[in-house]
């Protein structure tokens, strides 16, 4: 039997007006206007996602450049006198101990660094650590600020603001003559980096079909690993930190083309009632994907009717508190946030461990980036075959067990310790990729950017703590691997509180987000929703 639908609108002089008949809309069937209009994955989505993935290169460069701009550097006191002792911070002058004021630096690897230019040694060593803390704090702040702006005012404009800020502040870092000014420019650069991270990923997530989210998430992460590897090449060519800073900043000029290349998220436009703009973007995507015979305005109208029946006034005033306002969202938010802390701490911390192996700094850094790429492809396979939750549980468990085994493996068996560290890094790489996709699917559209931004903020908290955990080695050698082992196992246990999201339609409203993952008998309809359905 063929289903028929009564059209309650007649076309009059190019306009649709009500014909007085009652319109029947089946609320029971989920209508995803975006996926129906442009398909799961076509040339348009590939084109947009590839363009957006380029932003991950400068993200990697600006986050990791500190490794080459402020490396460990040997130095010798030159004023007020030379000294042959191991302590190059204090010198004996005519029987009196005096603090050194000038130093000569080992420039065999790097001609000039932030350390050597501003003498960040001895009593000024902590300034280099402050710079690293400001960098991570700036990324964290950018995740929060741009995440909130993108949920309120759209995805595209905050992305463009972040790209411009990254370009201007990056050049500013290379030309400022004072160290306090450098710290300010680094803060602004990190703020922009955090903004590009959170807004770019959400755009990709909101234009592809459910079965392709895992693939897009993996492809989105690979440019970061490639940026990680290529940074070693930039540092090898540009041994002066200012030249390196300019080299990693100028390519962002290409990203200004996003104004013409990257569209606004059609899901965000639909969620906030901007139907005409959404129709234009979806029609363009459908044309490029060669999808014909689709009544996009009608699909958009049905989509909005369906979502409006479930939307409350809180959806228009979505905020950070909505992540914790209701019980189910609160459990999901806290569980995924803890896993993000583990990912940031484990990946950054274990990367520091591989740096302690010794050898050429450029080769070691390239290897630490290269071994993350296989982890991305393992994540792709596992997320589709095993699901998001099982993949995150397994990858966290592998990383945790590998780290704990470092406690019992002797330092004399260097090759085995290296294998364990690499295993932990690959495990954390898989966890990072999975957590990106998982969090993007758990949060509803109206707070997705806030949720993903807060998630990324939690990763920054983990990465800030990583150096301090590594430094626990001075107290007991088993403390760092114990922390890097136990916390991922706790994260794996918390994953059992999360629902599986593979193949699921993205939740749109706060009600969708709260009901997502609940058992059917636990879902209760609001009386107002029942009245709305009856009216429709």
CA distance 115 to 126: 11
Write the CB contacts of 388 (distance below 8 Å, at least 6 apart in sequence).
434, 437, 438, 441, 500, 501, 502
Write the CB contacts of 126 (distance below 8 Å, at least 6 apart in sequence).
none
- Residue 272: the pLDDT is 81
Pair type for strands 96-99 and 15-18: unpaired
User: What is the domain partition of the chain in residue ranges?
Assistant: 31-73+110-308, 75-105, 320-517
HEC-encoded secondary structure of 218-257: HHHHHHHHHHHHHHHHHHHHCCEHHHHHHHHHHHHHHHHH
Centre a 10 Å sphere on the Cβ of residue 9 and count the other Cβ atoms it contains. Answer: 14
Q: Which two tokens stand for residue 215?
A: 């693939």
Q: Which two tokens stand for residue 519?
A: 């058992």
Which pairs from 493-499 meet CB under 8 Å and 24+ separation?
A: 494/335, 494/338, 494/339, 495/335, 495/339, 495/389, 495/392, 495/393, 495/396, 496/389, 496/393, 497/331, 497/332, 497/335, 498/332, 498/335, 498/336, 498/389, 498/438, 498/442, 499/332, 499/389, 499/442
Domain 31-73+110-308, CATH number (from 3.40.50.620, 1.20.1250.20, 2.60.40.10, 3.30.70.120): 1.20.1250.20
CB 62 within 8 A of CB 189: yes
Per-residue pLDDT of the chain (536 residues; tens, 9 = 90+): 344 443 433 333 333 433 333 344 444 455 677 778 888 888 898 898 889 989 999 998 988 888 888 887 788 888 877 777 667 787 777 777 778 888 888 888 899 999 888 888 887 877 776 787 788 788 888 878 888 888 888 888 999 999 999 999 999 999 998 999 999 999 999 999 988 988 888 888 888 887 787 777 777 778 988 998 899 999 999 999 999 999 999 999 999 999 998 888 888 888 887 888 888 888 888 888 888 877 778 777 777 777 666 555 555 566 677 778 888 888 888 999 999 999 988 887 887 666 555 567 788 788 878 888 887 788 888 888 888 899 999 999 999 999 999 888 877 777 788 788 888 888 988 898 888 778 878 888 778 878 877 887 788 888 888 777 876 776 788 888 899 999 999 999 999 988 888 777 777 777 777 777 666 544 444 554 444 444 43
CA distance 47 to 208: 12
Residue located via tokens 């690897």: 109
CA distance 433 to 437: 7
Residue located via tokens 């630096």: 105
Give the CA radius of gyration of the chain.
Answer: 26
- Residue 238: the pLDDT is 93
CA distance 509 to 334: 19
- 320-517: CATH topology is Growth Hormone; Chain: A; (1.20.1250)
Q: Which of 327, 388, 297 is nearest to 510 (CA)?
A: 327
CB 399 within 8 A of CB 428: yes
Q: How far is CA 336 from CA 388, 432, 496, 506, in A?
A: 12, 11, 11, 17
Maximal C-alpha separation, the chain: 106
């Amino acid at each position: 039997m063929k289903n028929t639908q009564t059209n309650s609108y007649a076309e009059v002089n190019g306009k649709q007006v009500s014909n007085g008949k009652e319109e029947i809309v089946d609320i029971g069937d989920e209508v995803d206007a975006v996926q129906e209009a442009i398909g799961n994955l076509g040339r348009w989505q590939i084109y947009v996602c590839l363009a957006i993935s380029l932003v991950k290169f400068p993200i990697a460069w600006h986050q990791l450049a500190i490794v080459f701009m402020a490396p460990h550097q040997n130095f010798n006191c030159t004023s007020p006198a030379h000294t042959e002792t191991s302590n190059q911070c204090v010198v004996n002058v005519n029987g009196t101990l005096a603090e050194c004021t000038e130093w000569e630096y080992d420039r065999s690897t790097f001609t000039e660094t932030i350390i050597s230019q501003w003498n960040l040694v001895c009593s000024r060593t902590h300034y280099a650590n402050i710079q690293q803390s400001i960098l991570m704090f700036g990324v964290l702040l950018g995740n929060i600020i741009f995440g909130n702006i993108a949920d309120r005012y759209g995805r595209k404009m905050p992305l463009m603001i972040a790209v411009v800020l990254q370009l201007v502040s990056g050049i500013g870092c290379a030309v400022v003559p004072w160290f306090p000014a450098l710290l300010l420019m680094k803060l602004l650069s990190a703020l922009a980096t955090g903004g590009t991270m959170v807004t770019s990923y959400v755009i990709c997530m909101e234009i592809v079909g459910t079965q392709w989210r895992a693939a897009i998430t993996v492809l989105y992460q690979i440019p970061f690993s490639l940026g990680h590897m290529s940074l070693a090449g930039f540092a090898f060519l540009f041994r002066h930190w200012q030249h390196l800073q300019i080299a990693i900043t100028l390519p962002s000029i290409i990203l200004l083309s996003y104004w013409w290349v990257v569209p606004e998220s059609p899901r965000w436009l639909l969620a906030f009632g901007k139907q005409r703009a959404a129709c234009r973007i979806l029609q363009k995507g459908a044309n490029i994907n060669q999808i014909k015979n689709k009544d996009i305005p009608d699909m958009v109208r049905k989509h909005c009717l369906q979502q409006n029946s479930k939307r409350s006034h809180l959806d228009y005033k979505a905020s950070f508190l909505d992540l914790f306002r209701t019980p189910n969202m609160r459990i999901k938010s806290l569980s995924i946030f803890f896993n993000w802390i583990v990912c940031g701490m484990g990946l950054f911390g274990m990367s520091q461990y591989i740096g302690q192996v010794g050898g050429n700094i450029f080769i070691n850094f390239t290897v630490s980036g290269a071994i993350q790429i296989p982890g991305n492809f393992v994540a792709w396979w596992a997320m589709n075959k095993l699901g998001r939750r099982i993949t995150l549980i397994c990858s966290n468990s592998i990383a945790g067990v590998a780290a704990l085994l470092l406690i019992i493996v002797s330092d004399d068996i260097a090759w085995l310790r290296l294998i364990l560290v690499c295993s932990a890094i690959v495990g954390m790489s898989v966890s990072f990729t999975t957590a990106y996709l998982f969090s993007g699917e758990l949060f509803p559209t109206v707070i997705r950017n806030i949720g993903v931004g807060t998630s990324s903020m939690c990763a920054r908290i983990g990465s800030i703590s990583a150096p301090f955990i590594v430094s626990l080695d001075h107290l007991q050698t088993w403390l760092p691997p114990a922390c890097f082992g136990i916390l991922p196992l706790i994260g794996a246990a918390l994953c059992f509180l999360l629902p599986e999201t593979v193949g699921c339609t993205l939740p749109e409203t706060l009600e969708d987000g709260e009901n997502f993952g609940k058992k059917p008998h636990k879902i209760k309809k609001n009386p107002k929703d029942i009245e709305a359905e009856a009216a429709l």
